[in-house]
Amino acid sequence: PAAAALDVAPTPLDVLRDVFGYDSFRGDQQEIIETVARGGDALVLMPTGGGKSLCYQIPALVRHGTGVVVSPLIALMQDQVDALAALGVRAGFLNSTQNPDERREVERAYRSGELDLLYLAPERLGVPATARLLDEGTIALFAIDEAHCVSQWGHDFRPDYLRLGELAERWPGVPRIALTATATRHTHDEIATRLGLTEARHFVASFDRPNITYRVVPKDNPFRQLVDLLRTEHPGDAGIVYCLSRASVEKTAQQLSEQGFRALPYHAGLPPAVRAANQATFLREEGVVMVATIAFGMGIDKPDVRFVAHLDLPKSVEGYYQETGRAGRDGLPSTAWLAYGLADVVQQRKMIAESDGDLAHRRRLSAHLDAMLALCETVECRRAQLLRYFGQEHQGACGACDTCQNPPQAWDGTVPAQKLLSAVYRLDRERNQRFGVGHVVDILRGRATPKITQWRHDELTVFGVGEDLSDGEWRSVARQLLAQGLLEVDANHGTLLLTEASGDVLGRRREVRMRHDPRPQGGARRPARS
């Protein structure tokens, strides 16, 4: 107020206190804000909930003119603008959901300098009229939110983002700040290059989310496992359950409701009004479980999401990190829980084989999946491994993930691997048949099922050589071989196939390390070892 009376531009701290009502900056916020307020460029990597919005909102308020925010989150623009209006910040947006009158009013306000912030959908920037409009007002800065969308390597690529590189050429004097919550070293470099942020200061916050406990459980009866988790650890809590398909979203939401949970579905196939209503209920009411595809969640700011459960394997570590990051924004203990099994690997490999795009694209998808599988199968601290993926180190083990709390034992799985791979080798001549994992396990365990007798697989030398392991253990061996690239699945038939690397195992040139799956939930604790 004193500053206003003297007609001096307010400082970032004034704005933080007077407009947003917070006492102090968090992490790198102050330095980022000062960099941009002074007219410099910035590239900001900060985990979800870290407070990225203020990093461009405050400089926009401090600088002369309007801060132009490019964001793919069209569905949230109205909410963002309303929330800012409640604080007395003058904001507007331009996207395809508006009618011409609404659009004209926002354009007029922008031209007359009545806006502090203008949110733009990325596709607007490709329209020449938008560039002309921007020239008719004063641009305080450009903020590029969800900047990882520019990366073709990343999991969330949006072609419209590629045009954002032109901003620097067209408006060279305007500072730019790019922000994202997900970036490996590789994506990070790609953002800087593609957006022409060569002079930008980089701000990389720690990606650790210490209040989130990471757990990966072997998939057994996933719905029952989920219900156990919710009943024993999260009764009455709000959370998100991610499923891969729309059908399983609907089914899971329905089944949870039958079990007495307040569960709602969300996926891109639902009518927009239903989606909006379910999202609003989740945000406003307590204890709602949102069952959703990954279409749900980007930009959702609900502080007290206590758990994020994945019933299917995410396609990449970036996706997993972003989705689990929606838990515990308030800093209180929260759970990231994933049920993962053999069928997930088979299904995802199949989806990659069938995906559109060239070989390079499929290789990228495979590399993403492999990293996710490695995280699932690790015997080390999951948090440490997760952070290492993002190029950050964690000092020692965290003590708060499943592998820290209940360290899985590693074992030498070379002999079982050889048995399983040689069974697959024997079947390899009959590629056109559906000899999936179940059939191979039946052979190893020496079960004379009708299918086995029909194909005379009881005469194979490997028939019955695997009686020492249970069905579950064999499936775990198969899953780990798939995860390690020592086994493949034929996309058309689901038949198991050898890979080039399998030969090294069969030829005894390579050992195979495996992990013992932890006991199913609710089972007895493993006795402490002395």
Q: What residues make contact with Zn ion under the rule CB under 5 A? A: 381, 383, 397-398, 401, 404
* Shortest Å, Cβ 215 to Zn ion: 10
Helix spans in 149-204 (H): 166-170, 185-194
Q: Is 52 in the site for ligand ADP (CB under 6 A)?
A: yes
Which residue in the set 22, 97, 127, 221 belongs to the binding site for ligand ADP (CB under 6 A)?
Answer: 22
Q: How far apart are CA 229 and CA 522, in angstroms?
A: 10
109 binds, among ligand ADP, Zn ion, none (CB under 5 to 8 A by kind): none
Looking at the Cβ atoms of 74 and 397, the one nearer to Zn ion is: 397
Secondary structure of 55-88 in HEC code, one letter for each residue: HHHHHHHHCCCEEEEECCCHHHHHHHHHHHHHCC
Which of these, 480, 220, 237, 478, lies nearest to 339 by C-alpha position? 220
Residue closer to Zn ion, measured from CB, 76 or 398: 398
- The answer to whether the CB of 117 falls within 8 A of the CB of 60 is yes
Q: How far is Cα 63 from Cα 40, in angstroms, rounded to an integer? A: 12
Nearer to Zn ion, 60 or 375 (CB): 375
Q: Which uninterrupted H or E stretch holds 107?
A: helix 100-111
**Is residue 194 classed as helix, strand or coil in its secondary structure?**
helix
Which of Zn ion, ligand ADP, none does 381 bind, CB closer than 5 to 8 A by kind? Zn ion
Decide which of Zn ion, ligand ADP, none touches 383; Cβ closer than 5 to 8 Å per partner kind: Zn ion
Tell me: does residue 53 bind ligand ADP (CB under 6 A). Answer: yes
> How many angstroms separate the CA atoms of 5 and 3, rounded?
5
Q: C-beta of 408: minimal distance to Zn ion in Å?
A: 12
Task: Quote the least distance from Cβ 208 to ligand ADP, whole Å.
Answer: 14
Q: What does the DSSP 8-state code read for residue 518?
A: P
In terms of CB distance, is 192 or 381 closer to Zn ion? 381
Contact partner at residue 417 from ligand ADP, Zn ion, none, CB < 5 to 8 Å by partner kind: none
DSSP state of 158: -
Measure the CA dihedral 39/40/43/46, to 10°: -60
Which amino acid is present at 124?
R
Q: How far is the CB of 345 from Zn ion (least distance, A)?
A: 23
Nearer to ligand ADP, 50 or 175 (CB): 50
Contacts of 257 (CB under 8 A, 6+ apart): 263
Judged by CB under 6 A, which of 12, 50, 265, 314 binds ligand ADP? 50
Q: Which residues contact 173 (CB under 8 A, 6 or more apart)?
A: 39
305 binds, among Zn ion, ligand ADP, none (CB under 5 to 8 A by kind): none
> Quick one: 179 or 452, whose CB is closer to ligand ADP?
179
Nearest-approach distance from CB 379 to Zn ion, in angstroms: 11
144 φ/ψ angles, rounded to the nearest 5 degrees: -110, 100
Is there binding between residue 91 and ligand ADP (CB under 6 A)? no
Smallest separation (angstroms) from ligand ADP to the CB of 16:
6
- 161 touches ligand ADP (CB under 6 A): no
> Is residue 82 near ligand ADP by the rule CB under 6 A?
no
| Contact footprint for ligand ADP (CB under 6 A) | 22, 25-26, 29, 46, 48-54, 301
